Amino acid sequence: MKAMVYLQVAVSLALTFQSHAWMNGGDFSKQFEECTGVYNKPSDVNALSMRGYEKQCTDLLIPLGSSHQRIGNFTDDQMGYIKSLIRKSFMEMLNNMGNRVKRNTKSVWRVREEVRSRNGAPFQRYAEAVRRLKKSGEYDVIAQIHITVVPTAHFGPNFLRWHRLYLFILETALGCPIPYWDSSEDYVMKKPQDSVVWTPKYFGNGYGPVVTGPFANFQTPIGPLFRKINADGSLMDRHAIIKYVLSKRRMGDISSPTAKPISNMEGYHNNVHAWINGLMGNLGYSAYDPVFFCLHSMIDNVYEIFRRQQVKAGINPATDFVKTGQKGQSPGDLSQINGFINSYGQSHKLAFQVQYQPLSQCPVCHGSKHKYCDNYRGVCVSRAAAPHTNAMEGILIADLMAKKSGLAEGAFGAPFPIFSVDPRTRGDAVQPIEEKKYKY
Ligand SMILES: [Cu+2]
């Protein structure tokens, strides 16, 4: 048995060396040995076969030694930074795998809580870390990655798994968990735009240039960060997610382009992007708004609930692939986050590195003073802040900024396509745009 394993290792190594001449060999083989050594511990074999582990080790490590790819317009230094994040993330996973059985204990530091939990403490920590990375320029490098993945990480089965990797990379850089923003708690408000999250304590103002809160006066490649909340689309309806998404068991049932609109997780996420609008409404530039990652932490939370249900139903989430033929979206394609294979975003080991605080439930509602239990409906509702006094002005300025930056004209690619509009939103934001104008 042992001999067989060694033989397989030797064969896969030989194959690898043949097809990837650019690799720096010595480094690689040592890492490969470490990788298989960790994964081949008997306690790890229940989730995947030994062969599966070897395959994953090979897949994983090939790109780490790669030097031939360049994404976007990154400088050598920026590429070096991205690669260092990937290496660090990968090594952390490697080292944590031995503890997998005990994963519900202290070995996981990536515990993602709702932003309003502990009266906002998880968010404050995140915001502070983001500000630090913004200052050093590193946040912008990470945000820029998203511009390069518009066609390969959206509109298809790569959506959930790619963004899972993306969250992981930023989290590695931050050194603290990315809290999730459960916008369904705002959705059940009478006026979601009045939520406490659009105040200086959380995301800062929602209308116009962001001039309050931790992200105040953030600059982006297309001008100051701005928003125009409640403009289009919709926040998340938890009831709909549970009924139409979490009742499904296959990736193809909840992913573009095979899912029905009402079960499409990407669609629900698009609606929130459009609702926040401004940079968040644009596919390329959305990650320059740090709200992006709190939204995606929530999307990933739903994905994790889905993933666990798959396991319960006897489906292996790591191999539940959808074939669509879209370029860059096959499980084996190299992710646009250099150094990862797409399928890796669906892997067990990645999932085991993260934990989510359960979604809010009545009557406790995360024990936060920034939400409360509506006993009549049995839902947790976000607290409202004082109504906006300068919303109209903010909307006007946001419209001007959208024009000036070119966002309004679609200069930077498509807005997030939405599948439904909350009747309460103003619905005056994005004019219908000709499909063919945005071909990728
Ligand atoms: Cu995205």
Give a yes or no: residue 80 inside a domain. no
Is residue 231 helix, strand or coil?
coil
| Ligand 1 centroid, distance to 282 Cα (angstroms) | 10
| Ligand 1 centroid, distance to 404 Cα (angstroms) | 24
Side chain identity, residue 84 = S
Are 300 and 212 part of one and the same domain? yes
Tokens of 373: 């239990």
Give a yes or no: residue 91 inside a domain. no
Give a yes or no: residue 93 inside a domain. no
Are 61 and 122 part of one and the same domain? no
Identify the domain containing residue 157 by its residue range: 110-438
CA–CA gap between residue 244 and residue 396 (Å, rounded): 37
| Ligand 1 centroid, distance to 146 Cα (angstroms) | 6
Give a yes or no: residue 352 inside a domain. yes
| Ligand 1 centroid, distance to 432 Cα (angstroms) | 21
Are 13 and 130 part of one and the same domain? no
Q: Which of 43, 68, 93 is the last residue of a domain?
A: 68
| Ligand 1 centroid, distance to 434 Cα (angstroms) | 21
| Ligand 1 centroid, distance to 126 Cα (angstroms) | 19
| Ligand 1 centroid, distance to 285 Cα (angstroms) | 9
| Ligand 1 centroid, distance to 321 Cα (angstroms) | 19
Are 273 and 377 part of one and the same domain? yes
| Ligand 1 centroid, distance to 310 Cα (angstroms) | 24
Q: Which of 18, 44, 68 is the last residue of a domain?
A: 68
| Ligand 1 centroid, distance to 49 Cα (angstroms) | 32
Q: Which of 68, 97, 125 is the last residue of a domain?
A: 68
Are 179 and 266 part of one and the same domain? yes
Give a yes or no: residue 84 inside a domain. no
| Ligand 1 centroid, distance to 380 Cα (angstroms) | 28
CA–CA gap between residue 252 and residue 160 (Å, rounded): 11
Are 227 and 366 part of one and the same domain? yes
What pLDDT score does 406 carry? 86
- Residue ranges of alpha helices (H) inside 115-193 are 121-136, 138-147, 158-174, 184-187
285 closest CA partner among 426, 204, 402, 152: 402
382 closest CA partner among 123, 209, 110, 111: 123
What are the two backbone dihedrals, phi and then psi, of residue 228, each rounded to the nearest 5 degrees? -150, 75
| Ligand 1 centroid, distance to 284 Cα (angstroms) | 8
Other beta carbons within 10 angstroms of residue 21's beta carbon come to 8
| Ligand 1 centroid, distance to 256 Cα (angstroms) | 13
Are 160 and 24 part of one and the same domain? no
What pLDDT score does 32 carry? 56
| Ligand 1 centroid, distance to 134 Cα (angstroms) | 19
| Ligand 1 centroid, distance to 164 Cα (angstroms) | 10
Per the structure, how many domains does the chain have? 2
Are 61 and 123 part of one and the same domain? no
What are the two backbone dihedrals, phi and then psi, of residue 305, each rounded to the nearest 5 degrees? -60, -45
Give a yes or no: residue 57 inside a domain. yes
| Ligand 1 centroid, distance to 243 Cα (angstroms) | 24
| Ligand 1 centroid, distance to 153 Cα (angstroms) | 6
Give a yes or no: residue 86 inside a domain. no
pLDDT in tens, the chain (440 residues): 444 444 444 444 443 433 332 333 334 455 555 665 544 444 443 444 455 555 556 555 545 444 434 556 788 898 889 888 988 888 888 777 654 444 445 578 999 999 999 999 999 999 999 999 999 999 999 999 998 888 889 999 999 999 999 999 999 999 999 999 999 999 999 999 999 999 999 999 999 999 999 999 999 999 999 999 999 999 999 999 999 999 999 999 999 999 999 999 999 999 999 999 999 999 999 999 999 999 999 999 999 999 999 999 999 999 999 999 998 899 888 777 766 788 889 988 899 999 999 999 999 999 999 999 999 999 999 999 987 778 889 999 999 999 988 888 877 777 888 888 888 887 654 444 443 333 33
What pLDDT score does 354 carry? 95
Are 142 and 56 part of one and the same domain? no
CATH of the domain at 243: 1.10.1280.10
| Ligand 1 centroid, distance to 290 Cα (angstroms) | 13
Are 43 and 134 part of one and the same domain? no
| Ligand 1 centroid, distance to 124 Cα (angstroms) | 24
Contacts of 147 (CB under 8 A, 6+ apart): 72, 284, 285
Is residue 253 helix, strand or coil?
helix
| Ligand 1 centroid, distance to 162 Cα (angstroms) | 8
CA–CA gap between residue 151 and residue 284 (Å, rounded): 10
| Ligand 1 centroid, distance to 168 Cα (angstroms) | 14
| Ligand 1 centroid, distance to 86 Cα (angstroms) | 18
Are 157 and 31 part of one and the same domain? no
| Ligand 1 centroid, distance to 50 Cα (angstroms) | 33
Give a yes or no: residue 351 inside a domain. yes
| Ligand 1 centroid, distance to 268 Cα (angstroms) | 13
Are 267 and 381 part of one and the same domain? yes
CA–CA gap between residue 54 and residue 72 (Å, rounded): 31
